Chains A and B, each alone.
Chain A
Amino acid sequence: MSDSKERTGMDRGIIKKSDIPKLAGERRFFAPAREGTVPPGTCELQENPAEIAYGFSNVRAPLKEIFFPQTETMYTFDFDEVTDVPIPAEQILVFGCRPCDARALAQLDEVFGPENKGYTDPYYMKRREGSIVISLACSAPCPTCFCTATGGGPTETRGADLVAHELENGQAGDGGSLLIEAVTEKGRAFLESHKKLFGEASDQLVEEIREKDAAAVEAVRRANELGVDLGRQIDALKERMDPLFDDERWQQLTAGCIGCGACTYLCPTCYCFDIADESRMYEGRRIRTWDSCQFAMFTKHASGHNPRTNKKERLRQRFMHKFSYAVENMNEVLCVGCGRCITACPVNLDIRDVIRSFAKEPSRENAS
């Protein structure tokens, strides 16, 4: 284990797969696993898994649940008093999420973090602040991936503190190893504090990895040509969608929707929530839960009036939020191209169809 002369020793290193759990220390540790998943063969992020899974295309659910639980108790109450439920200041290590999910986390940071006009969500940020995220670069994206069209990529680093690459030339019997590179200062410090577990990575190896990365990016690009590059032009869809708010294609695109929330609940960037009181007899609690713009109740007013009366309007809201309103409010497209909404949809309503449909439209400048 050679201490390197330059700062490269802190920027990257090679670690045995079997040593990954040792990185956790006192932290809550989440990693992809196949044990007990339904159906067998699928992967999900599990806490302290017995065996970390590799070779999956993506985990079933994104990591928003870890930082933004579906149901969270804010405080409890009875007739006499309100008792705050302390926000856990947890130290969390997530290993092995895909780069798209890490990028989604960076987007959630902007929604829940101080960047958002000064409104900071303490529940999310408390968990997020002490966390370390190590993403695992993709080499073989699945057929529903379209990260490159949304400005990301299979080896994208944003949102991760460190990025891991699987190495093929591991020695027989050692279970393989990973190249881990720091992305953020936090990641660099984390690497430094665990340097005993890391070996040195040669420049040549890193170069080989870069070549593989480029091939992976190309593979996604080829597989999903959506006619738009939201990385180069974030508002490319927005400027085409905005004038077509009342276009009849929305009817056609959304006709099959049955109005469930599978897409939003499995989306790594959907963050809408509801706050409700649950009480029984003399006590109760106030909870925050996920909510979905696809539910009729989402916009229903106390008066009984509902501004979004049908599935077309609700689904249009979902896509407009992602590709137009988010661009306006945070200069971001709120979609990372993970494709979960495509595979989870009971009627195969495909977000790529929506993107393609509007991408074909001449842009506003050309049209006028």
Chain B
Amino acid sequence: MSNARTAEIQKIAKDLLEEGKVELFIGFQEGTVPLRSRPAFVQAEAVESLVWDSFCANNLAVYLPKYYENQPGRRKKREKPYPKIGVAAKGCDMRSIVALTKERQVQRDSLLVVGVPCEGMIDTRKVEAAVAAKGGDGGAAAADEILEARETEAGKLEVTTRSFGVLSFDREEVLQDCCLECRFPMPEGADILLSGQARKPGDGGYARIEQFMKKSSEERWDYFSTELSRCIRCNACRQACPTCWCKECFAEQTDLKWIGVGNTPSDAMIFQIIRVFHQAGRCVECDACYRACPMHIDLRLYTKKIVKDVEDIFGYLPAFDAEALPPLATFGDEQCDFFITDPDKAETAEGTGQ
């Protein structure tokens, strides 16, 4: 399946580049470590390096805004027309492209989106955890036991390890949670769509949030504090996020200065709280932040919570509709402010319509 996809995407990219329909194609190439494919920026001569497999997890939309930036100091005047860019997009990448278009960060008509019906991407951490578990209680095996990984035609993942030989996993058991929960694996509105099936849409994964919200606020705070105590303020979560396109992040403003620059727990927590709040109505649940975090902080819990809140309260979920206005960009007279004045009511409300 993935071999067929690789061939198809190479062919499409080659044609687009050779026919001059795009100047650059953004896809994936083979990575240098097992279980990873990495973003690739290719011209016609390098299309053979493109691949499509279950390791293409990165959200490629993160690279797009910079191509459509206006020149600094020269407002809204461009010397050259916007570049034509081809990009491979899974469901989540496509949702990001739609969101970025609404926020005027990409020019949709100079973008050529090659949609890939998504079968879900493999979670490096789940595989590492499964391999580590092989080592028993002492965890004699480190996660970086993994020497090599490949997919088989039969939908298995085979992992060559240093101490346990070749281990085989069902794809389903090592897919990313965001893929298992994904409601939009099929990228709607792509300009060209690859053949093949997308996986069956998931249920959105709100159950975990509901479970979490049943805990006392102390327990929730404890969990948040413990997770964020590992934060090293490397900004990988912010940088990996397609939605975090601000030229100047609040965290870097020095006049006024909102938060400190160190890894003091309160600074790390405030940074994350504000980052997540800024995602309201914009987060597409691609888990780029969660994947990027080198300290493996459970960021997806918080982004998912904000996605759920926005859907519950405003009935809005950023998907493929280019016309639907995000809640932060609109205010309707039927929208009341009970979520501020009476949060208990907000918890039980079934959305308020538009």
A interface residue numbers (CB < 8 A to B): 34, 38-43, 53, 55-58, 61, 70-71, 140, 142-144, 252, 255-256, 258-262, 264-266, 274, 276, 278, 287, 289-292, 295-297, 342-344, 346-350, 352-353
Contacts and interface: CB of A to CB of B under 8 A. Distances in A.
Given A39-B296, A57-B142, A265-B232, A348 B36 contact: yes
A43 B142 contact: yes
A71 B262 contact: yes
B129 A289 contact: no
Interface in B111-141: 125, 128-129, 131-133, 135, 138-141
A142 B128 CA distance: 14
Given A258-B240, A265-B234, 13 more contacts: A38-B296, A41-B133, A55-B140, A142-B144, A256-B40, A264-B234, A265-B232, A266-B294, A274-B261, A276-B262, A342-B32, A346-B239, A350-B33
10 contacts: A39-B125, A41-B135, A143-B34, A143-B147, A260-B235, A260-B238, A265-B233, A290-B263, A346-B288, A348-B32
B38 interface: yes
A252 B240 CA distance: 19
A40 B134 CA distance: 12
Contacts, number: 139
B32 A353 contact: yes
A278 B260 contact: yes
B291 A346 contact: yes
Contacts of A278: 260
B270 interface: no
A42 B143 contact: yes
Given A260-B240, A348-B38, A56 B296 contact: no
B197 interface: no
A260 B129 contact: no
B162 A276 contact: no
Nearest to A291: B261
Contacts of A259: 235, 239
B135 A287 contact: no
Contact of A142 (B142, B232, B263): B142
Interface of A is mostly: loop
A87 to B, nearest CB: 17
A287 B260 contact: yes
Interface of B: 31-34, 36-41, 58, 62-63, 125, 128-129, 131-133, 135, 138-147, 162, 230, 232-236, 238-240, 252, 260-264, 288, 291-292, 294-296
Contacts of B125: 39
B39 A347 contact: yes
A34 B294 contact: no
A278 B258 CA distance: 10
A204 to B, nearest CB: 28
Contacts of B36: 348
B262 A260 contact: no
Contacts of A287: 260, 262
A359 to B, nearest CB: 15
A254 B77 CA distance: 28
A140 B138 CA distance: 18
B139 A41 contact: yes
**Which residue of B139, B240, B263, B264 has the most chain A CB atoms within 10 A of its CB atom?**
B139
Contact of B139 (A40, A258, A289): A40
A42 B263 CA distance: 21
A160 to B, nearest CB: 21
A346 B235 contact: no
A70 B232 contact: yes
A352 B232 contact: no
A222 to B, nearest CB: 13
Contacts of A262: 234, 236, 292, 294
A144 B239 contact: no
Nearest to A65: B232
B292 A346 contact: yes
**Which residue of B32, B140, B264 has the most chain A CB atoms within 10 A of its CB atom?**
B32
Nearest to B35: A348
A39 B142 CA distance: 10
Contact of B230 (A38, A274, A296, A297): A38
A54 to B, nearest CB: 8
B294 A55 contact: no
B129 A41 contact: yes
A55 B145 CA distance: 11
Given A266-B294, A278-B260, A39 B143 contact: yes
A289 B262 contact: yes
A112 B133 CA distance: 41
Contacts of A61: 232
Contacts of B264: 71
A276 B264 CA distance: 13
Nearest to B128: A39
B294 A256 contact: no
B164 to A, nearest CB: 13
Contacts of A290: 263
B225 to A, nearest CB: 14
A289 B235 contact: no
**Which residue of A143, A256, A346 has the most chain B CB atoms within 10 A of its CB atom?**
A346
Contacts of B39: 255-256, 347
Given A41-B133, A140-B162, A348-B32, A343 B144 contact: yes
